[in-house]
């Protein structure tokens, strides 16, 4: 912190920053004042459903759905040798921080025995649950504190072990003594300027010996980690270096799963059992995508949000959702009749639905109006939904067929995509080829569309340098005078294609060099892909011959049973040849194959 005459120094531009650097480089430094404060930091309460999902997302990078699936297995039971199936944690769908007295007593005993009496607080920590907590189940904790993560390592899978360790440590730490910290604030005089530095040193770790709660903006919840040297007031200091840095004001970060669950919990939206499904639905419906573990709204998500908020303002409201949750809680406790709650909601919602049926815009037919003008006819541009997603289209369609791709900036404002970059000429009509975006990404299209519908993949248009990387074969196309080159399909399957594409669209699969083993079939086995992208080897005479092999065939007969071919298989990272006949069992090292 920079201060001059008791006021904070504000640096508005580079000139001011440079002048300040000069002053600091010429100034003499002296410790003006040293403030030391003692602080205590209490442990976090034991896990409830929401905090478990948040912490697993922060520390383990698990989704809420994965966290709950693993917790379910730990709750239902794990085989522990001679003990049989044992449930390792308590019920994982809870919003209560309450703990059983027996569990607290066992935890304090374990802490005293393994860490020492100093780590056991005199009074048992009591944690308050949020208002409206149902309190049907206690907090999430290990069923026995004596089953340490080290002991359970032999019985649990890796993902189960790390989650169990998180639950175990959080529970034990919640029953430990607070941490004791020394906070130091140092005021340093630099001529007319006053500089300040602060740092924190751990005097007694307490619960931090076992566990430190995570934070959404980093891996550790202990933000104060700077250790300052022990300096006395009046001591002179020597400047080492002044390093100016420019910092820009950053917008609030996008939600992670952890921060979104916390927001839902704080606003009273949803229940512990619904957080995981909410995270799943907004991604499955493609309302959001994840970039660097943070949710980013898609164009579809923003469009759906705009339409729903405009047509259902009373329902699409945080206060409404929280109030409905509160009313349902009152129904559960018997303080409110369920029939009246449902009737009040239905009347309001029914009116909104009837209004939306007549007023809500049909995005496919009409489009969502924007403030952008069409440069061709002057009418407003609308957001429409097509087979390749959202795009901007003139409201005068079909009279005006102007359309554009668009994106949104960090504030959600529409940014029209620039006109396509010219890359080469069309080999059919000699007009320019420009970059366009389609369902499968960027591609080249002729500017003469719709008269000329020539398109070309981007990977095929990178000039002479690209042509050098194309793998030519000695086979000649039987439909023109071109040669076949090796290309790959979207599923990664190699095939032969004529070099004169798109004038000649002749293609041919690449054979595995093995004849089809079916009787009276003169076909050859080639690599193919199923609808789900799984690779297999089938006959070129399909659909007359439906023979398939899920392993790559090799043109080598089996010496044991006489089968016409062997297949390549893999075990523990090494390949070997095996006979595909289940009753044979012949194997040999792949390196011995010719």
Buried b (16+ CB within 10 A) or exposed e, 492-515: ebebbbbbbbeeeeeebbeebebb
DSSP one-letter code for 518: S
> Where is 7: in which H helix or E strand?
strand 7-8
- Judge if the upstream peptide bond of residue 106 is cis by omega within 30 degrees of 0: no
Residue 101's CB is within 10 A of a number of other CB atoms, namely: 8
Helix, strand, coil content of the chain in percent (nearest 5)? 30, 25, 45
* Strand pairing category for 85-86 and 236-237: unpaired
- Taking every pair of C-alpha atoms in the chain, what is the biggest distance, in angstroms? 101
**Which residues fall within 8 angstroms of residue 6, CB to CB, at 6 or more apart?**
none
Distance CA 455, CA 237 (A): 70
| Bond into 113 cis (ω within 30) | no
DSSP 3-state of 458: helix
Angle at Cα 481 formed by Cα 473 and Cα 505, nearest 5°?
Answer: 80
Selected catalytic residue, list 29, 62, 75, 91: 91
Q: What's the token pair of residue 461?
A: 């248009």
CA distance 84 to 77: 9
Q: Give the span between the Cα atoms of 298 and 406, in whole angstroms.
A: 12
Structure tokens at 371: 């403030």
∠ Cα 525 530 531 (to 5°)? 155
Give the strand pairing for 7-8 and 2-4. Answer: antiparallel
Is 91 marked active-site? yes
Q: Please name every residue paired with 577 in a beta bridge, in sequence order, or none if there are none.
A: 568, 588
The sheet that has 403-404: what strands, in order across it?
A: 368-373, 380-386, 389-394, 403-404
Alpha helices, H only, 235-388: 257-267, 275-284, 299-311, 318-333, 338-359
Closest residue by Cα to residue 45 from 110, 152, 138, 132: 138
d(CA 50, CA 113): 31
Catalytic residue set = 91
């Amino acid at each position: 912190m920079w201060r001059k005459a008791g006021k904070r120094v504000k640096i508005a531009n580079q000139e001011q920053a440079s002048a300040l650097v000069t002053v600091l480089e010429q100034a003499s430094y002296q410790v003006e004042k040293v403030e030391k404060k003692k602080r205590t930091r209490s442990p976090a309460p034991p896990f409830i459903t929401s905090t478990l999902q948040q912490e697993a997302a922060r520390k383990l990078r698990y989704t809420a759905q994965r966290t709950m699936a693993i917790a379910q297995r730990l709750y239902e039971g794990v085989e522990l040798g001679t003990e049989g199936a044992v449930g390792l944690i308590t019920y994982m769908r809870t919003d209560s921080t309450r703990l059983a007295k027996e569990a607290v007593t066992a935890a304090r005993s374990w802490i005293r025995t393994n860490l020492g009496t100093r780590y056991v607080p005199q009074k048992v920590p009591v944690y308050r649950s949020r208002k409206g907590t149902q309190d049907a189940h206690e907090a999430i904790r290990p069923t026995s504190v004596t089953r340490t993560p080290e002991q359970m390592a032999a019985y649990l899978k890796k993902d189960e072990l790390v989650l169990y360790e998180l639950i175990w440590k959080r529970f034990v730490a919640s029953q430990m003594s607070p941490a004791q910290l020394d906070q130091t604030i140092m005021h340093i005089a630099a001529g007319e300027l006053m500089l300040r530095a602060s740092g924190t040193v751990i005097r007694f770790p307490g619960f931090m010996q076992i566990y430190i709660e995570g934070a959404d903006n980093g891996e550790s919840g202990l933000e104060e980690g700077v250790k300052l040297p022990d300096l006395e007031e009046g001591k002179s200091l020597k400047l080492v270096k002044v390093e100016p840095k420019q910092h820009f004001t950053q917008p609030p970060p996008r939600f992670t799963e952890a921060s979104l669950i916390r927001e839902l919990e704080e606003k009273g939206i949803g229940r512990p059992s619904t957080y995981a499904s909410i995270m799943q639905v907004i991604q499955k419906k493609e309302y959001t995508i994840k970039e660097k573990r943070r949710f980013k709204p898609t164009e579809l998500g923003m469009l759906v949000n705009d339409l729903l908020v405009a047509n259902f303002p009373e329902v699409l409201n945080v206060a409404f959702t929280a109030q409905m949750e509160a009313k349902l809680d009152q129904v559960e406790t018997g303080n409110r009749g369920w029939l009246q709650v449902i009737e009040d909601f239905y009347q309001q919602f029914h009116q909104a639905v009837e209004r939306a049926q007549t007023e809500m815009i049909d995005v496919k037919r009409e489009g969502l109006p924007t403030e952008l003008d069409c440069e061709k006819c002057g009418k407003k541009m609308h957001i429409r939904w097509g087979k390749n997603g959202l795009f901007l289209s003139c409201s005068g369609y079909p009279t005006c067929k102007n359309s554009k791709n668009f994106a949104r900036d960090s504030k959600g404002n529409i940014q029209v995509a620039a006109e396509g970059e010219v890359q080469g000429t069309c080999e059919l009509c000699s007009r320019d080829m420009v970059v366009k975006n389609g369902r499968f990404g960027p591609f080249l299209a002729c500017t003469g569309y719709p008269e000329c519908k020539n398109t070309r993949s981007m990977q095929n248009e990178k000039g002479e340098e690209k042509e050098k990387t194309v793998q030519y074969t000695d086979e000649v196309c039987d439909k023109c005078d071109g040669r076949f080159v090796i290309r790959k399909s979207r599923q990664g399957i190699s095939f032969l294609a004529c070099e004169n594409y798109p004038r000649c669209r002749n293609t041919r699969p690449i054979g595995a060099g093995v004849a089809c083993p079916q009787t009276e079939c003169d076909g050859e086995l080639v690599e193919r892909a199923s609808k789900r992208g799984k690779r297999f080897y089938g006959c070129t005479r399909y659909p007359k011959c439906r023979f398939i092999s899920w392993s790559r065939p090799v043109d080598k007969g089996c010496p044991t049973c006489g089968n016409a071919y062997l297949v390549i298989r893999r075990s523990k990272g090494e390949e070997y040849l095996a006979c595909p006949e289940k009753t044979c069992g012949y194997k040999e090292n792949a390196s011995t194959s010719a």
